[in-house]
Chain A
């Protein structure tokens, strides 16, 4: 019979407190607690409320990583409290842990945040099947396992908001849909039963709120407690924009396509040429910085670019392996 030893260690918790009804500014309470190796972060929230301060507020429900209610931040990292082991948190961050809501600026009371922006964006991408379904169908609509796999498990998102409030773009741009909404959009875009493909895609790529504002930081993939990998879905949606002919000519699409042209011509990138191709007349706004860069030897003119050796191979591969059109 194997034995399992439960260990304990002391942890200092710095806990964010704020009551929007009474407090002008948030503050932090300190709790020094013995934590056992068996506990999850949610146990700590419970113990703060039950043993220390009954007014401490947070959301919780299923305790099984499925309702998405208890997402908070530990030392700045989004985490689902019921799923995250304290042992892992201590191993990662040490014995001084800061407990905060997903978004400090959206806190209503302690860990409870107003997720209104999250749900607005979720609703905006039409998160449901859009299809002409017969009222009295004679047989079920079969989706094959292969077709279901195309969803890439985007359907297991529990809408906890961990990725949304970890996204640096959401942080600085209120309009941006955010990774969760995009993952949800992909879930329906990839569904063979959905008829809204092009019309939904059309609403996903507007400047400032849409797909092209993603900074490719992978924070969303890193925090997701269900491994939905939202940035992977964002990339897939980018590819769909081109595949479905939805992509319009703008700085973002020309930038993506410009890489292919540059590679076909030089193997390596022509950095200046790419910016010119992407921006078109908009290039003028880059001139002041470009001039400074030029004086510092940071701009190579097109004729000075050292092309890749065996360029004929690259040209041949670009011709034979291209799968997208614009």
Chain B
């Protein structure tokens, strides 16, 4: 089989507040024989907030990031749901509006770049499922996570809007009954916890603006996973991770119940199952102690 090679858009979080996500991405890619070309030229995607202020600027910046993936002739892989949303949304809008694409390219020309629309954009979770396949993952597992009930937490921007998810990925899934992360848990040998909150919002994007709301949403999510008898949670999004891992105090206060569960990045879960050395997965960087390894 030809070696898989992608252009990696790390996003900002993996390089700052979730270093463990960057480490585990690299460890897992290495284990799976995936070559990642890091897009060190990329800027922040705007995180859906720059978009509230200056839509055109956010399009230009995201188009520039994609243009670098295109220069490599590679599919862009994201490791953050919000990066995925903003990058894929930019591609969707430019590929469907020639006038807008021309306006954006007029700006990119100033710096010698062009957005062509030749690179696909996929989240690492879907790259693994679509391009490697769960069967192969199952076969590669050396430490099955069979003693654990694991609660998948999908994160809004990987599954909604579903039109964008379906257009972007081979694994076209429902926003109401997504299966990708459940399937990955099963492939790693774990038991997937089914609970209502697995597709709900963690509140991250309103943490500063509406802290009470954001904390209540976080609390409800962790409580749902706990009531589903989960030993720990897993998510493909570093922003959800930050919210669920570091804000348990506020979340507990908001819903009047002590809530706390270890939360793993999907890369860390996969790394444990594939037998990556524990120190390569950065489990010590969590605030909610990962107490089971």
Q: Interface of A with B (CB < 8 Å)?
A: 75-77, 92-93, 168-169, 172-173, 176, 207-208, 212-219, 221-222, 235, 238-239, 242, 251-253, 255-257, 259-260, 262-263, 267-269, 271-272, 275, 278-279, 288-289, 292-293, 296-300, 305-306, 308-310, 313-314, 316-318, 320-324, 326
Q: Which residues of A contact B293 (CB under 8 A)?
A: none
The contact of B44 among A169, A212, A259, by CB within 8 Å, is A259
- Give complex CA distance A214, B206 in Å: 7
Interface status of B5 (Cβ within 8 A of chain A):
no
Can you pick out 15 interface pairs between chain A and chain B where the beta carbons lie within 8 Å of each other?
A168-B201, A208-B210, A215-B201, A215-B205, A219-B156, A219-B201, A296-B286, A298-B16, A298-B19, A298-B246, A313-B111, A317-B61, A321-B56, A322-B57, A323-B57
> B208 touching A260 by the CB < 8 A rule?
no
A255 in contact with B209 given A235-B52, A238-B52 (CB within 8 Å): yes
- Give chain B interface residues in 28-78, CB to chain A under 8 Å: 40-44, 46-57, 60-61, 64
The contact of B208 among A259, A275, A289, A308, by CB within 8 Å, is A275
Q: How far in angstroms is the closest Cβ of chain A from B170?
A: 19
Q: How far in angstroms is the closest Cβ of chain B from A288?
A: 8
> B210 touching A92 by the CB < 8 A rule?
no
**Interface residue total, chain B, C-beta cutoff 8 A:** 64
Q: Which residues of A contact B287 (CB under 8 A)?
A: 289, 292-293, 296, 298
Q: Which residues of A contact B157 (CB under 8 A)?
A: 216, 218
The contact of A262 among B44, B108, B113, by CB within 8 Å, is B44
Q: Which residues of A contact B217 (CB under 8 A)?
A: 168, 172, 215
A219 in contact with B160 given A271-B12, A326-B53 (CB within 8 Å): yes
- Give complex CA distance A259, B176 in Å: 31
Interface status of B229 (Cβ within 8 A of chain A):
no
- Give complex CA distance A298, B61 in Å: 26
- Give complex CA distance A278, B61 in Å: 22
A298 in contact with B18 given A251-B208, A251-B209, A320-B107 (CB within 8 Å): yes
Q: Which residues of A contact B17 (CB under 8 A)?
A: 271, 293, 298-300
A278 nearest CB neighbor, chain B only: B208
Interface status of B177 (Cβ within 8 A of chain A):
yes
Interface status of B247 (Cβ within 8 A of chain A):
yes
Q: How far in angstroms is the closest Cβ of chain A from B286?
A: 7
> A213 touching B44 by the CB < 8 A rule?
no
Q: Which residues of A contact B209 (CB under 8 A)?
A: 212-213, 251-252, 255
> B51 touching A308 by the CB < 8 A rule?
no
- Give complex CA distance A168, B287 in Å: 26
The binding surface of chain A is classed by DSSP as helix
B157 nearest CB neighbor, chain A only: A218
> A172 touching B213 by the CB < 8 A rule?
yes
Interface status of B249 (Cβ within 8 A of chain A):
yes
Q: Which residues of B contact A305 (CB under 8 A)?
A: 16
- Give complex CA distance A214, B52 in Å: 11
> B213 touching A239 by the CB < 8 A rule?
no
- Give complex CA distance A271, B13 in Å: 8
A236 nearest CB neighbor, chain B only: B55
- Give complex CA distance A252, B210 in Å: 9
The contact of A213 among B113, B213, B247, by CB within 8 Å, is B213
Q: How far in angstroms is the closest Cβ of chain A from B90?
A: 13
> A292 touching B210 by the CB < 8 A rule?
no
Q: Which residues of B contact A313 (CB under 8 A)?
A: 41, 64, 111, 113
A217 in contact with B156 given A93-B176, A260-B57, A309-B41 (CB within 8 Å): yes
Q: Which residues of A contact B41 (CB under 8 A)?
A: 267, 308-310, 313
Q: How far in angstroms is the closest Cβ of chain A from B256?
A: 12
The contact of A267 among B44, B110, B201, by CB within 8 Å, is B44
